[in-house]
């Protein structure tokens, strides 16, 4: 093998070790393009791997593909590149026709797997946009996505509507731009914060709300509400001493719907540095937990900030 090729192979391995898969696959493609023997085998496999890498990268940057899933796809691409490198260094030339050998079958399944991945990504994106996602029109507003709440008791209610109307009413009084939509699709039961975040990212939401409810007589509703901020849209990042999300998978007592609503809107006001309404809404919570009592004290110390 020419010395130049050896140097290029070393460069590809170096790029992979540094985590620069994009440049590694481009360099390896350029290397294989010099030899026509690899046109319909190794080179074709590399182009599929490059397409998979680029698709995964785009979905990750858009926030549609979670970090852990993206890393798994990158690892698959890296494995493909290393296998191609091994064959290239050994001078192995896979057959052009439908492969029958073990090594060649690997390239066939790599290509099929890449095509399936592309199809799954497109399906997931379209499904998220069309089936389970409302449309957000105001680009400057905080995009709030409310997922249907799971029912705990026998009585049925519609807490998502009351939460939507409450957020819209309170944020409007505070002059905070917020666009609140209820998901038209019912997610799976017992959704946790990570799953809710994935759906929020797919729907281009900034804040997702989810949880469970139990309805009682006289229109009383108690909830176990989870909410998570996904992006900074519609407000300024809050770097205070408190978490700005909850996870319904944690052990939490159910609480009055109105208390949960004022707690959430206080967080929204804090993230917008609207101390006046943050204090006001925090004061409306009748049954504060330990975090809310600490937050109320912290807000009192903000003064005129």
Question: Do the domain assignments include residue 234?
Answer: yes
281 and 212 fall within a common domain: yes
pLDDT at 119: 47
Q: Residue 171: what pLDDT?
A: 96
Give the C-alpha separation, 208 to 227, whole Å. Answer: 6
Is 118 in the same domain as 195?
A: no
Whether residue 192 lies inside any domain: the answer is yes
Question: Same domain, yes or no, for 47 and 146?
Answer: no
Count CA within 13 A, CB hemisphere, residue 263: 28
Looking at the fold, whether 25 and 125 belong to one and the same domain comes out as: yes
* Helices (H) then strands (E): counts for the chain: 10, 6
For residue 37, give the DSSP letter. Answer: G
**291 and 150 together in one domain:** yes
Residue 97 has pLDDT above 90, yes or no: no
Higher pLDDT, 122 or 136: 136
| Averaged pLDDT score across all residues of the chain | 78
Query: Where is the domain boundary, 64, 98, 130?
Result: 130
List, in sequence order, every residue forming a beta bridge with 85; answer none if it has no partner.
none
Beta strands 150-151; 207-215: pairing state: parallel
Which of 130, 165, 197 is where one domain is finished?
130
Residues 268 and 229 in one domain: yes
Residue 52 sits in the same domain as residue 150: no
The answer to whether residues 92 and 204 belong to one domain is no
Token output for 213: 């409810």
- In the listed set 130, 157, 186, which residue is the last one of a domain according to the structure? 130
Cα distances (angstroms) measured from residue 23 to each of 18, 29, 164, 300: 10, 10, 46, 53
Question: Do 124 and 177 sit in the same domain of this protein?
Answer: no
List pLDDT tens digits, range 243-277: 555 666 555 668 899 999 999 999 999 988 899 99
Task: Count up the domains in the chain and report the number.
Answer: 2
Residues 101 and 191 reside in one and the same domain: no
Number of neighbouring beta carbons within 10 Å of residue 36: 9
| Integer Cα distance of 247 and 130 in angstroms | 27
Within this chain, do residues 94 and 175 fall inside the same structural domain, yes or no? Answer: no
Gap between the Cα atoms of 305 and 301, Å rounded: 9
- Residue 178 CA to residue 144 CA, distance in Å, equals 7
- My answer on whether 159 and 296 are in the same domain is yes
CA distance 38 to 72: 27
Asked, for residue 220, whether it belongs to a domain, the answer is: yes
Least confidently predicted of 30-44, 53-67, 155-169: 53-67
Note the maximum CA span of the chain. Answer: 84
What is the residue-wise DSSP string for 205-254? Answer: -SEEEEEEEEE-GGG-EEEEEEEEE-S-TTSPPP-SSS-S---TTS----
Compute the distance between CA of residue 176 and CA of residue 178 in angstroms, rounded to an integer: 6
Q: What would the two tokens of residue 180 be?
A: 């609140």
Question: Where in the sequence is the domain holding 176, given as residue range(s)?
Answer: 142-300
In a domain, 248, yes or no: yes
Q: What is the DSSP letter of 184?
A: S
């Amino acid at each position: 093998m020419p010395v130049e090729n050896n140097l290029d192979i070393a460069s590809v391995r170096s790029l992979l070790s540094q985590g620069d898969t994009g440049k590694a696959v481009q360099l390896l493609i350029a290397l294989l393009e010099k030899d026509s023997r690899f046109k319909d085998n190794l080179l074709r496999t590399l182009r599929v791997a490059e397409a998979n890498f680029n698709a995964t990268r785009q979905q990750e940057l858009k926030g549609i593909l979670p970090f852990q899933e993206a890393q798994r796809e990158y690892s698959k691409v890296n494995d493909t590149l290393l296998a191609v490198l091994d064959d290239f260094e050994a001078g192995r030339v896979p057959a052009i026709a439908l492969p029958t050998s073990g090594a060649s079958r690997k390239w066939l399944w790599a290509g099929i797997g890449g095509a399936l991945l592309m199809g799954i990504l497109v399906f997931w994106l379209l499904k998220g946009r069309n089936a389970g996602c409302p449309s957000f029109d105001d680009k400057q507003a905080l995009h709030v996505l409310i997922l249907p709440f799971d029912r705990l008791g026998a009585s049925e209610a519609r807490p998502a509507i009351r939460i939507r109307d409450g957020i819209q009413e309170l944020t409007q009084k505070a002059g905070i731009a917020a666009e609140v939509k209820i998901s038209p699709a019912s997610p799976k039961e017992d959704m946790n914060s990570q799953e809710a975040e994935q759906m929020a990212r797919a729907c281009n939401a900034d804040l997702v709300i989810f949880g469970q409810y139990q309805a009682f007589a006289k229109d009383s509703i108690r909830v176990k509400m989870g909410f998570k901020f996904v992006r900074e849209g519609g407000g300024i990042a809050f770097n205070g001493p408190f978490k700005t999300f909850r996870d319904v998978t944690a052990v939490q007592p159910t609480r009055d719907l109105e208390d949960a609503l004022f707690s959430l809107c206080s967080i929204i006001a804090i993230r917008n540095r609207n101390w006046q309404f943050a204090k006001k809404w925090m004061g409306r919570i009748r049954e504060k937990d330990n975090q809310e009592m600490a937050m109320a004290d912290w807000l009192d110390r903000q003064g005129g900030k």
